[in-house]
Amino acid sequence: MKIKTLGIVLNQEKRSAATVLGRLEVLLRSLKIEAIVPASGADALPFAKPVPSQDLRSQVDAVLALGGDGTILHTAHLLNGAAVPILGVNLGSLGFLTSFTADQLEEALHGLVADQLPRVNRRVLACEKWRDDTLQSSHRALNDVVAGWGQSTRIVNIRVRINGEEVTTYRCDGLILSTPTGSTAHSLSAGGPIVHPDTPALLLNVICPHTLSARPMMIPDQCELAIEICETSKKLLLSVDGREEGSLEEGDRLAVRLSPQGVTLLQHPDHSYFGVLRHKLHWSGSTHTLRT
């Protein structure tokens, strides 16, 4: 794949951002690659061509996400299903979605130009919010869709159907619907399992259920979920990949299914998913061999 234009999405709050941008400008000039940036972030990248955020997806061959996992999620949101690969370079500690560090910037871009970086496709959720018979909004989630919390901690009743079949009505604080990629995000903190990104599944997890029998559930990723807010004394927040997307009221419905358009990530050739888990979750084990 010939790289002529490279989109750049930057988390300006990272301390190392200014230093990395200086190196990046020199590197792109030497590789004869045009840098393109969403207009909202143009002030930090004077060497890049600014374009409206909605036009980024149609004007770049790839996108360089400089920041962390949140920057990857934001970049996926900007691309909105376009088949444009994302190269993540972490400006902090190693992330779940980024496999290059700031010190590896040159290696990452040379690998991109030489088309030597492995590509992985990550599943994405398509979510529709309905009120009465009116479609209120549509969303895409690389990590998760969350209905929960709000203006009080009173429990709510949420009915779940899968492929039209009744599952149950949960009395809980909310629900998390996640992809395998998102299993190590909000769902994990709510007691959900770690699901390998290649697993063809979706994950339903209940937030603080009012019964000990409620447990996280993995279902085939071809299933369609219908979520209905049956009874609530509060407005629930609808969160998509950590972005607040309005509220949910009694009677509102969510239709969630696998999107036909995933997200393509470019990884380091030596990337190890389990190595990332060991690092991020601080796993450790015995350093000696058991003897019998």
Identity of the residue numbered 136: Q
If you write DSSP's letter for every residue of 245-269 in order, what string do you get? EEEE-TT-EEEEEE-SS-EEEE--T
Enter the tokens of residue 191.
């007691």
Q: Is residue 69 flagged as an active site residue?
A: yes
All residues at 6 or more sequence positions from 125 whose CB lies less than 8 Å from its CB, including other chains: 140, 141, 144, 145, 177, 178, 179, 202, 256, 257, 258, 259
Tokens 């058991």 correspond to 290
Tokens 């998102």 correspond to 182
All residues at 6 or more sequence positions from 122 whose CB lies less than 8 Å from its CB, including other chains: 142, 179, 181, 197, 262, 263, 264, 265
Tokens 């990884």 correspond to 267
| Angle between helix 17-31 and 105-113 (nearest 10) | 30
Residue 269: Cβ within 10 Å count: 10
Helix (H, G, I), strand (E, B) or coil at 217: strand
CA dist 90 and 14 (Å) reads 9
Burial class (CB in 10 A: 0-12, 13-18, 19+), 256: buried
One of 69, 144, 173, 252 is an active-site residue; which one?
69
Active-site amino acid positions: 69
